Each structure stands twice: as C-alpha cells, then as structure tokens.
Amino acid sequence: MIVAMQETATEDQIQVVTEHLIEMGFSVHRTTGERQTILAAVGARSDFDTRNLEVLGGVMEVHRISAPYKLAGRSFRPQGTIIEFKNGVKVGGKEVVVMAGPCSVESREQLFTVAELVAKAGARALRGGAFKPRTSPYSFQGLGLDALKLLREAGDKHNMLVVSEVMEISQIEVMLPYVDILQVGARNMQNFNLLRELGKLKTPILLKRGIAATIEELLLSAEYIMAGGNYNIIACERGIRTFETYTRNTLDISAIPIVHKLSHLPIASDPSHGTGRRDKVAPMARASVAAGADSLLIEVHHNPDKALSDGAQSLYPQQFVELMDSLRMIAPAVGRSIA
Ligand code: PEP
Ligand code: MN
C-alpha cells in the first residue's frame, strides 16, 4: 500500500500514520521528498480498508498495490485454470466452449427441439433455467425438478454438459444429480451464504457478474467459493447496468481481458443478457471471442416469439447456426477453436 502524505503534513501526523500501519502488521518504508512524504507499506494484509488511513490527519491519498483476493488472483496459478469435464470438454483451454439453450425450460418438446439444434450446431453444453429469478413475482418461475430431469435427459442424448441456475442453498442438493455446472446468477453474485455452500462442492460454478458489480467484486465473490475449497469457477460477464437504455445491459467486453490479467479463472461472456436484443447477440458474441472469452452463453429458442422468458434476446435456430459458422472463422484468428 502506498500512502502519500499532504505537503502540509506534520511530523506528528506522519508518525501517527506510520504507527497505525505497523500496528496493522505492515512494515513501513519512508521516502521523504523535497515537498512530500511517501509511506510504502508492505505486508500480508489484503483485507485492509484503505479508508481507515484516508481519514487520518495529513493523509492525501492511499493506493492499494496488492489485490484483495489471493486464490482468485493470477499469481495463484500463473498458467491459468482449465476445468475438465467427463465428456472431454475443457473450459479454459484452446476451445471456446459454447453453452446454449432456452432461457427457461418450458416443456419437453421445447427443450428437446432446442437441444438437438444447438448440439448439431456445435454447442457443448445445454443451458436452461429450472428455477428462474424473475423481476416480477407474476412472471414464469420455472418448472423446477421436472426441468432438471428434462435437461439431464436431453443433455445426455446429445453428449452435452448441463448448466442450470441455483438460486438458493436448499436447491443445491436437488440439482446436483442433474447438472454438471451450477450457475450463480447476477442477482446472487453477492449472496455470500450461497457462495460459501458452493465452496464445499467440487461441482464447477458459473459465476455471473452482478449488474452493478465491479470486476474486483466479481473476483472477490469467486474468492468466497475458492476459500471453501472449490477452485472450479468460470467467471461470466453478462452486462452491467449503465445509463444506456438502447440495450438491456451494457456488455463489458473489456472485463474479458481484465479478468484474464487479474485472475487465472476462465471467463465466459453472455451476450444474450448482455444486450437483451436478438440482433445484437451475434456481433457481441463475435467480439467476445475476439477479446479472448473462454466460453459463450447464448439463448436460443425454436419459437422465440412464444418464449416464456427472454424471447427478445433468444436467437432463432438459423441465427445460431450462422453465428457458430462465423465464430469458426474468428476463433482461429485469436488462437482458439470452436467445436
Ligand atoms: C439467465 O442466465 O437466464 C439469467 C437469469 O441470467 P442473469 O443472472 O445474468 O440475469
Ligand atoms: Mn434468460
């Protein structure tokens, strides 16, 4: 941590700050320039609240120089994390893994139709909601256990992994027999009790960024899960809320290279929720792959106009096929591949 003192700081004030830092376990290296004193504090603590220093007399600025997360940080595994699944799919390797499916599982007919078409087009995971976090309590809430059974059956039929969202601790046990990846939705990124429980598992977690969360907060949420012993996490950029109203959210493509720099975890991009509009999904999916995304989440529906949730952002089957074709041209340009 770097503490820059004000030009007017007195020797007493500098001493108070120095003692405060020593008390916190830092060793302090002082540089006194012509005008200003700089204190460099080196130490083990990363959970330190810099505001405690900022409010001390004579302090001008405080800068953290080490990340507040350890296990999620790049230096924990400089080579990067690759999550391997039983069907041979690897997330974080050379292949960009496409996870696709309907926003919600609505019926057997719907799910099996969509599963077949996304599998044929190259999706490696079937993604569908069984428990839905809906903004309105009157909207479709999901088919629950019935949906999970259908997802497993359709996933197995087409050799696809199954991904579905867990909204609360009590659903974990119900879901485990049916899913390969548990998704934590944007609304639950900081449900710390849920994250702690997921830390006790080995099942991979797809952790979505909250709509108002910084990248640091996303990585701290990953740290919660990792602190419990589950290192199998895929971070996911799914758009954040900004002042822009044309799109549902603003997909923060820059989060992809930033997470790669700060963390060893693979990062997925979700241009469906990230834009909320079908016509914007393919361009942003292509941009995500070009930016280095390890995985994509794409909502697809065989009849989006009748979808019970997120129809406007769901691709028509042919659009998904065309998107996959274009990704097969873009991926090699950045050293990646698509199934
Ligand atoms: C979803 O994936 O269908 C979903 C609800 O996503 P998010 O949590 O990103 O809104
Ligand atoms: Mn959705």
Q: Where in the chain is the domain with CATH 3.30.70.1140?
A: 2-66
Spell out the SS3 assignment of the chain: CEEEECCCCCHHHHHHHHHHHHHCCCEEEEEECCCCEEEEEECCCCCCCCHHHHCCCCEEEEECCCCCCCCCEHHHCCCCCCEECCCCCEECCCECEEEEECCECCCHHHHHHHHHHHHHHCCCEEECECCCCCCCCCCCCCCCHHHHHHHHHHHHHCCCEEEEECCCHHHHHHHCCCCCEEEECHHHCCCHHHHHHHCCCCCCEEEECCCCCCHHHHHHHHHHHHHCCCCCEEEEECCECCCCCCCCCECCCCHHHHHHHHECCCEEECHHHHHCCHHHHHHHHHHHHHHCCCEEEEEECCCHHHCCCCHHHCECHHHHHHHHHHHHHHHHHCCCECC
pLDDT tens digit sequence for 52-64: 999 999 999 999 8
pTM: 0.92
- Output the average pLDDT for the chain: 96
Please state which architecture CATH assigns to domain 2-66: 2-Layer Sandwich (3.30)
pLDDT tens digit sequence for 66-114: 888 989 999 999 999 999 998 899 999 999 999 999 999 999 999 999 9
Residue 299 CA to ligand 2 centre (angstroms): 7
Worst-scoring range by mean pLDDT, 1-5, 44-48, 101-105?
A: 44-48
Class level of CATH domain 83-338? alpha beta
pLDDT tens digit sequence for 205-242: 999 999 999 999 999 999 999 999 999 999 999 999 99
pLDDT at 9 over 80: yes
Please report the pLDDT score of residue 48 as a whole number. 80
Residue 10 CA to ligand 2 centre (angstroms): 57
Q: At what angle do helices 255-262 and 215-227 cross, to 10 degrees?
A: 40
Please report the pLDDT score of residue 78 as a whole number. 94
Q: Where in the chain is the domain with CATH 3.20.20.70?
A: 83-338
Rounded to an integer, the average pLDDT of 141-169 is 97
pLDDT at 46 over 80: no
Q: Give the position, in ligand 1's atom list, of the atom nearest the Cα of 104.
A: 3
Residue 202 CA to ligand 2 centre (angstroms): 25
Q: Give the position, in ligand 1's atom list, of the atom nearest the Cα of 133.
A: 5
pLDDT tens digit sequence for 232-274: 999 999 999 999 999 999 999 999 999 999 999 999 999 999 9
| Cβ of residue 133 lying under 6 Å from some atom of ligand 1 | yes
Split at pLDDT 50, 70, 90, the class of 44 is low
Residue 55 CA to ligand 2 centre (angstroms): 44
Pocket test for ligand 1, best of 105, 139, 183, 252 (most atoms within 8 A of CB): 183
Ligand closest to 184 (CA) is 1
pLDDT tens digit sequence for 19-33: 999 998 998 999 998
